[in-house]
């Protein structure tokens, strides 16, 4: 019997709440925005987990909490076998070397006053890896890895296009050879023609270096292309998680079904003929989420029980898990 493989990252019941205060002098907490409310998943070494959901569902917040850029309100983050949920700044330093982030906006995530070489070399500098000669060599190496030339090392970010900037950001993230890469919508700010290049680059690098990746996105076509497994989030919770093939072939949660039916197909005939599951209304406020199943206010197949009873995320075999009363396991 082979031993159970150890996940690179395990997240248990993660919660990130933002308290809302009222009053000027004697501040009183009047409510909480439950941006992330009980999220659990794991990432294996070298695996890509896609995290999808519409704006405001908490996917970016989850990413920031994993990096401890936001304080988790509750739950557990276990990275490489170590519980880092309550690590302080100093304890986090060696961990930060192992997990890196690529941000959404390549125009904002690069310091306009640093050269490309300084930007890419900064993580090496921060973690004091190698001497200046070795760092320089590593930086040039990284630039060629992401498809940029050595001559570009001395230039400033504003001299590059969006796609090139995102390559610089990727080179920076890879500089310390992390085990986990968190990509927060890395291509949604790019032109469609450039998106494919950057996604392919990420996929290629990841396969070559064996980096576990959390790919946060709202574009289901991109996620499908790059992910091994996909978790669908709605209002701060994971409603369904499954292997890529399973999720796209047999989505079980009504929200996942609605999301998938919203992907445009580049053929008017098929587009017109296929059934659409349309979800009406707005996403409820995370300040005051609906009782029971959070999706029941918009769910086309909601039952009486959905209003009162919270469905648990139930494993259905083959790595698929759904939180819906229609699929009690």
Partner 1 sequence: MKRLLVRLLREKPLGAAGAVICLVFLFCGIFADFLAPYGYNQISLLNRVKPPSGQFFFGTDNLGRDVFSRCLYGAQLSVIIGFSGAALATAISAVIGIVSGYLGGKTDLVTQRFVDAWMSFPELIILIVVVSVLGPGMGQIIVVLGLLLGIGGSRIIRGTVVSVRENMYVHAAQSMGAGTLRILWRHVLPNVMPPLIVLFTNRVGAVILAESGLSFLGFGVPPPAPTWGGMLSGSGRAYMYQGPWLALAPGLCLTFVVYAIAMLGDALRDLLDPRMRGSR
List contacts with partner 1 (CB under 8 A): 67, 69, 92-93, 96-97, 100-101, 103, 105, 108-114, 122-123, 126-127, 156, 158, 169, 172, 176
Minimum distance from CB of 95 to partner 1 (Å)?
8
Instruction: Write down the least CB distance from residue 129 to partner 1, Å.
Output: 12
Q: How far is 103 from 122, CA to CA, in rounded Å? A: 16
For partner 1, the closer of residues 155 and 243 by Cβ is 155
In angstroms, the CA 257 to CA 244 distance is 14
**What phi and psi, each to the nearest 5 degrees, are found at residue 180?**
-130, 130
- Is the Cβ of residue 8 or residue 235 nearer to partner 1 in the bound state? 8
Is the CB of 173 or the CB of 299 nearer to partner 1? 173
Nearer to partner 1, 94 or 328 (CB): 94
Whether 103 and 184 have beta carbons less than 8 Å apart is answered as yes
- What does the block give as tokens for 116? 């490309």
Q: How far is the CB of 219 from partner 1 (least distance, A)?
A: 20
CA 159 – CA 54 distance, rounded (Å)? 33
Q: Quote the least distance from Cβ 125 to partner 1, whole Å.
A: 8
197 Cβ contact partners less than 8 Å away, ≥ 6 residues apart: 163
User: What are the DSSP calls for 297-326, one per residue?
Assistant: TT-TT--HHHHH-PPP-EE-STT-EE--TT
Q: Give me the least distance between CB of 18 and partner 1, in Å please.
A: 15
- Residue 114 beta carbon to partner 1: minimum distance, rounded to whole angstroms: 7
Shortest approach of partner 1 to residue 178 CB, angstroms? Answer: 10
Q: Quote the least distance from Cβ 97 to partner 1, whole Å.
A: 7
Strands 28-43, 314-315: pairing is unpaired
DSSP letters spanning 228-289? SEEEEEETTEEEEEEEHHHHHHS--SHHHHHHHHTS--S-HHHHHHS---PPPSPPPPTTSP
Smallest Cα–Cα separation from 63: which of 37, 102, 90, 106? Answer: 102
Rg for the chain (alpha carbons), in Å?
Answer: 21
Q: Which is nearer to partner 1, 111 or 144 (CB)?
A: 111
Tokens 């576990």 sit at which residue? 212
Between 36 and 169, CB nearer to partner 1? 169
- The answer to whether residues 109 and 103 touch, using CB atoms and an 8 Å cutoff, is yes
Nearer to partner 1, 89 or 276 (CB): 89
126 vs 301 by CB, closer to partner 1: 126
């Amino acid at each position: 019997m082979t031993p159970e493989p150890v996940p690179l990252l395990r997240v248990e019941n993660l919660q990130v709440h933002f308290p809302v205060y009222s009053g000027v002098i004697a501040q009183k907490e009047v409510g909480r925005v439950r941006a992330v409310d009980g999220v659990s998943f794991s990432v294996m070494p070298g695996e890509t987990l896609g995290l999808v959901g519409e704006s405001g569902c908490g996917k970016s917040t989850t990413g920031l909490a994993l990096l401890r850029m936001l304080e988790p309100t509750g739950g557990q983050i276990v990275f490489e076998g170590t519980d880092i949920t309550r690590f302080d700044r100093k304890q986090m330093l060696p961990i930060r070397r192992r997990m890196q982030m690529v941000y959404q906006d390549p125009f904002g995530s690069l310091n306009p006053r640093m050269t490309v070489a300084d930007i890419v070399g900064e993580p090496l500098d921060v973690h004091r890896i190698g001497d200046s000669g070795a760092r320089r060599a590593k930086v040039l190496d990284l630039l060629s890895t992401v498809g940029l030339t050595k001559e570009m090392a001395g230039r400033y970010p504003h001299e590059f296009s969006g796609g090139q900037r995102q390559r610089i950001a990727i080179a920076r993230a890879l500089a310390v050879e992390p085990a986990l890469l968190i990509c927060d919508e890395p291509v949604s700010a790019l032109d469609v023609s450039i998106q494919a290049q950057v996604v392919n680059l990420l996929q290629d690098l990841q396969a070559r270096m064996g980096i576990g990746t959390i790919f946060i996105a709202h574009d289901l076509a991109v996620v499908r292309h790059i992910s091994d497994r996909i978790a669908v989030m709605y209002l701060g919770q994971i409603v369904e998680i499954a292997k890529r093939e399973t999720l796209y072939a047999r989505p079980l949660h009504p929200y996942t079904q609605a999301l998938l039916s919203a992907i445009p197909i580049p053929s008017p005939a098929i587009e017109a003929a296929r059934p659409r599951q349309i979800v009406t209304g707005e996403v409820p406020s995370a300040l005051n989420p609906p009782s029971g199943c959070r999706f029941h206010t918009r769910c086309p197949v909601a039952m009486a029980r959905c209003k009162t009873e919270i469905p648990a995320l139930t494993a259905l075999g083959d790595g698929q898990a759904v939180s819906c009363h229609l699929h009690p396991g």
